[in-house]
Every structure is written in structure tokens, then in C-alpha cells.
Amino acid sequence: MRILTGIQPSGKLHWGNYFGAMKSMFDLQEKGENFMFIANYHAMTSVRDGAKLREATRDVALDYLACGLDPEKTVMYRQSDVPEVQELAWYLSCLTPMGLLERCHSYKDKLAHGLDATHGLFAYPVLMAADILIMNADLVPVGKDQKQHLEVTRDLAQKFNNAYGEIFKLPDAYIPETVATIPGTDGQKMSKSYHNTIELFEPANSIKKKVMGIVTDSKTMEEPKEPEGNSIYELYKLFATGEEVEEMASSFRAGNYGYGHAKKALLAAYHRLFDPYREKREKLAADPSMLEDILSDGAKRARKSAAPLMEKVRSAVGI
């Protein structure tokens, strides 16, 4: 089974990305033939600064490697290193009804968040379909917001196969329902568009400031409190053991346990998990040629799979 996922390098990765996407990918690493790519073409729909895009691309790769991506088990590559993707995107474009893209929610959502209404943003699901189909993926782990894009991908694969013969597999989305929506420092969904994120590797003092600043109600320290639904407790659940979580819940319910205490426990639990990753990341970052080698080896392995399929596609479409 081939598993493929793509991550946009459009900002620093945060706790929501880690628990909502990265962690389940690391778990899947043991279960199939894995591909993970950094969707730098997709990120151009929002990033308009070359140096920033390059830095964010490198940061995503470092973050994944530091937190557990094993380049032996998972082929990691940059989208732009596999030119077959762009070529296929054009062939698919010529089969894509305008109405199909007009129905995509994410385009409208992104305009509502202030992104420019460009052709690239509108056509983004076609490029995503090309990413998936050229790699012959069976399973695509994504967040709920991407479900419709997987439907578009299947639809385009079917249209292509109807027109030119059975060339593409129809991939399935893998959307773990068990993954909770991780709250941000203001209690809303953690998202870079809401400016409420805690980044995986921002400086320790800045993480402390953000954790201590998580919004709570104004109950006094003495008052008993219901932990469920409280952002600090919900975040703590991600980092702590079952026993530790129980302990925090009963302390909250008993009273004489303030939000400040819980924030300190959360911060300690973050450090316990992430300090070793931070150390690994620093080592990796100090050796840029090693990162480059990993990415170019990934691109080679990805193209080894994409190139023969592209040959078939070209021959079928008459190019």
C-alpha cells in the first residue's frame, strides 16, 4: 500500500500540525510504502517572498526529521523536484470542468481569510490531484478540510481513465476521526490564520510566555473547576500520560488548584517530549548538506516512480 501526504511550507509548524497531522504520519510509517513531500508550489498561493519560501521549505523538512520522520522508511522530497507533477497538472486541467473547482469550499474560505483571488489558488486542487496521481498513491492522510480535494482527485482520475484508458488508481483519503481539534492560546482552533499558535520549535522563553498566556475563565485558585473543555487540560492530554491526566483532572475538581499550576505542568510536559527533538533539530540544522542529500535522494526515489507513469500518460494523451 502506498501512502502519500503533502505539507505546505507556508509558516512555522505548530502544536496543531504536530498532533493533527505529523504524529499520525509517523505512526503510518510502519504500515506501508511512505511518501511525504513539501508542497512548495502550493505554498506560492500565499507566500510571495522567495527567501521565505526557501526557508519554510527547509524548516518543514527539519521539523519532520527532528520529530521522527525516518528517511529510510519515508521518501521525503520537495514538490518542485518532481517536474512530472506540473506536467500532469496541465493534462488534468484540460479535463477539469470549471464547475468542479467553483464548488470547492477551500477557495472561498481562503479568500475570506484574505488570500488573493488568483488563478493558482483557484486551480490548486488540480495540482493536488497531480501530486497524488503521479505517485500512484492508495491512501492520502489529510485533515478534514482536504476531504473535498480528495474527491476532486478521484473525479479527475476517473475522467482521465474514461478518456484515455485505465491509467490511474483512485486514491482514498485517510482522515483519522480520532484526531481532535487542537485548541490555540485563545481557545479557538489552533491555526496560523488565527495568530493563536504555539510553534514546535520557537525559543523556550516565547513558548513559556504563550503557555502562561493561554486564555482561561476568571475562576479563583480555590474554586473547583471542570477540566473537560478547558484548553490547558485539552492540550495537557496530548503530552501527558493517562495517569498524569487523571491527576490533573482530580486536582481541578478538588479546588485549590489554579490555572497557573496547570500551565506549569503543561509546559513541563511539552519540554519532556520536545527537548530531545529540539536537540536533534539543532544537529540537523548545523549540517545543511546532509539535509540537501536527504531531499535529493527523496526526489530521485520519487521520480523513479513518477517517470514511467508519466511515459504512459504522455503516450496516452498524444504528446
Site residues, ligand ADP (CB under 6 A)? 8, 16-17, 20-21, 142-143, 145-146, 179, 181-182, 189-193
Instruction: Report the partner that residue 20 touches, choosing among ligand TRP, ligand ADP, none (CB closer than 5 to 8 A by kind).
Output: ligand ADP
Among 53, 82, 132, 267, the residue binding ligand TRP under the rule CB under 6 A is 132
* Interaction between residue 82 and ligand TRP (CB under 6 A): no
User: Of all helices (H) and strands (E), which one includes residue 211?
Assistant: helix 204-212
Q: How far apart are CA 80 and CA 288, in angstroms?
A: 19
**Shortest distance (Å) from residue 149 CB to ligand TRP:** 6
Which one-letter DSSP state was computed for residue 141? Answer: E
**Shortest distance (Å) from residue 63 CB to ligand ADP:** 12
| Active site residues per annotation | 110, 189, 192
What is the contact mask toward ligand TRP in residues 135 to 174, using x (rule: CB under 6 A)?
Answer: -----x-x---x----------------------------
User: Of all helices (H) and strands (E), which one includes residue 76?
Assistant: strand 74-78
Which one-letter DSSP state was computed for residue 219? Answer: -
Q: How far apart are CA 257 and CA 171, in angstroms?
A: 49
User: Of all helices (H) and strands (E), which one includes residue 247?
Assistant: helix 242-254
Nearest residue to ligand TRP, scored by beta-carbon proximity: 6
Burial of 311 (0-12, 13-18, 19+ CB in 10 A): exposed
* Interaction between residue 199 and ligand TRP (CB under 6 A): no
Cell numbers placing 228: 473537560
If the CB atoms of residues 135 and 235 are measured against ligand ADP, the closer one turns out to be 235
If the CB atoms of residues 131 and 199 are measured against ligand TRP, the closer one turns out to be 131
**Shortest distance (Å) from residue 164 CB to ligand ADP:** 31
User: Of all helices (H) and strands (E), which one includes residue 168?
Assistant: none
Cell numbers placing 139: 491512501
If the CB atoms of residues 144 and 209 are measured against ligand TRP, the closer one turns out to be 144
Instruction: Report the partner that residue 16 touches, choosing among ligand TRP, ligand ADP, none (CB closer than 5 to 8 A by kind).
Output: ligand ADP
Estimate to the nearest angstrom the gap between the alpha carbon of 297 and the chain centroid. 22
Cβ neighbours, 10 Å, residue 225: 21
Q: How far apart are CA 117 and CA 115, in angstroms?
A: 6
**Shortest distance (Å) from residue 181 CB to ligand ADP:** 5
If the CB atoms of residues 161 and 181 are measured against ligand ADP, the closer one turns out to be 181
The three-class DSSP label of residue 169 is: coil
**Shortest distance (Å) from residue 5 CB to ligand TRP:** 5
**Positions in the binding site for ligand TRP (CB under 6 A):** 4-6, 8, 39, 42, 128, 131-132, 140, 142, 146
